[in-house]
Amino acid sequence: MTDDKNFALSCPTPLANYEQILLAHGGGGKLMHQLLESVVLPALDNVHLQPRHDASVFVVGNQKLAFTTDSYVVSPLFFAGGDIGTLAVNGTVNDLAMAGARPLYLSLGLILEEGLPVKTLSRVMASIKNTAAEAGVQIITGDTKVVDRGKGDGIFINTAGIGVVEHSLDVAPGSVRPGDAIILSGDIGRHGIAIMAQRAGLQFETTIESDCAPLHTAVQALLAGGIDIHCLRDLTRGGLASALNEVAQQVKLGIHIIETAIAVCDPVRSACELLGLDPLYVANEGRFVAFVPEKDAERALAILEKESVCRASSIIGNTTVEDAGLVLMTSTIGSTRIVDMLSGEQLPRIC
């Protein structure tokens, strides 16, 4: 191997570091991880952040609690299958659920842009109210700020959530073991394509609706069924591929999945083919993966299939000792390939 000084590479200058934040830094891929590891986490370092999970679990008195926060900056505010209000409630409910917690209370921080029609805010508040009622959580504290016109995008929302952990399992990446089965709770890619279609003004024969939904009921059903859940991860920005890569890298195990076991509905597949996108990297808001012991897999699947938001659940693969840190997939024609984590946002291909 030639060292840096001697390798006369005359291609464009290496882009060692971006000096400004790119949109890709928020894309849930490698750039975001680099930003967290190099800038954000060093300032905060503590034991609760170590598990790198969707929510932190800690003990107060005799009670295990889970705590999480998330911000919502979606454009457009309203889309097929939901709006920023449904996302803001379900997203935080789901982060708590992924720690095995029963969500109880949420906070609501609104950042409104000058000029936003009050009617729009009312519409979002109505959907926040309905979504919270459906999820069985209460919003018990909040804050409202207004920024100058042009300094926001209509509405930004932050929610934090608190829930109780009523079991002795440690539902976190650290509990994943070799040979665990991986269950996917439904078909993938609906949310990302619904948003993209709306943004780009693309029209398909059938409207693709976001999968935005609360997942805690399904998790509670698994717990009630005595499933020894090792880890849960909801699939958000970076899609299934990023969620699996995060776990593989954290626990230093391999993950093998089978392409034909991963459900993608036809309209989403068509849209992805058309736009040059890979559904493995497209965003979801109502799907998760569960890592469970092989012996519990079929029973867990049967429990999930009874839940309305998880009807299309399937076992998509398992963890392995070999290929540590990698996600490998058996393709539709039976060959194996690496499923890598994206750098930033998935950019549509040219042709």
Contacting positions for other proteins (CB under 8 A): 1-2, 4, 7-16, 18, 20-24, 30-31, 34, 200, 202, 248-249, 252, 254, 266, 269-270, 273, 275-276, 278, 323-326, 328, 331-338, 340, 342-343, 347-351
The residue among 240, 267, 265 whose CA lies nearest residue 255 is 240
Dist. CA 25–CA 23, nearest whole Å: 5
Q: Which residue, 12 or 117, has its beta carbon nearer to other proteins?
A: 12
Q: How many CA atoms lie within 13 A of 128 on its CB side?
A: 24
Token readout for 91 is 């997203």
Check if the beta carbon of residue 159 is closer than 8 Å to that of residue 91. Answer: yes
Q: Which residue, 248 or 283, has its beta carbon nearer to other proteins?
A: 248
**Shortest Å distance, C-beta 193 to other proteins:** 14
Q: How many CA atoms lie within 13 A of 121 on its CB side?
A: 18
**Shortest Å distance, C-beta 274 to other proteins:** 9
Q: Which residue, 26 or 109, has its beta carbon nearer to other proteins?
A: 26
Check residue 342 and report its DSSP letter. P
Q: Which residue, 80 or 324, has its beta carbon nearer to other proteins?
A: 324
**Shortest Å distance, C-beta 288 to other proteins:** 24
**Shortest Å distance, C-beta 54 to other proteins:** 23
Dist. CA 120–CA 92, nearest whole Å: 22
**Shortest Å distance, C-beta 3 to other proteins:** 9
**Shortest Å distance, C-beta 200 to other proteins:** 6
**Shortest Å distance, C-beta 199 to other proteins:** 10
Characterize 153-186 residue by residue with b for buried, 16 or more Cβ atoms within 10 angstroms of its Cβ, and e for exposed.
Answer: ebbbbbbbbbbebeeeebbbbebbeeebbbbbbb
Dist. CA 185–CA 182, nearest whole Å: 10
Q: Which residue, 170 or 323, has its beta carbon nearer to other proteins?
A: 323
Q: Which residue, 4 or 45, has its beta carbon nearer to other proteins?
A: 4
Check if the beta carbon of residue 90 is closer than 8 Å to that of residue 155. Answer: no
**Shortest Å distance, C-beta 22 to other proteins:** 5
Q: Which residue, 304 or 326, has its beta carbon nearer to other proteins?
A: 326
Q: Kindly write down the DSSP assignment for every residue of 160-229, as one continuous string.
A: EEEEEE-SS---SGGG--TT-EEEE-S---HHHHHHHHHHHT---SSPPPP-----HHHHHHHHHTT---
Q: Which residue, 50 or 260, has its beta carbon nearer to other proteins?
A: 260
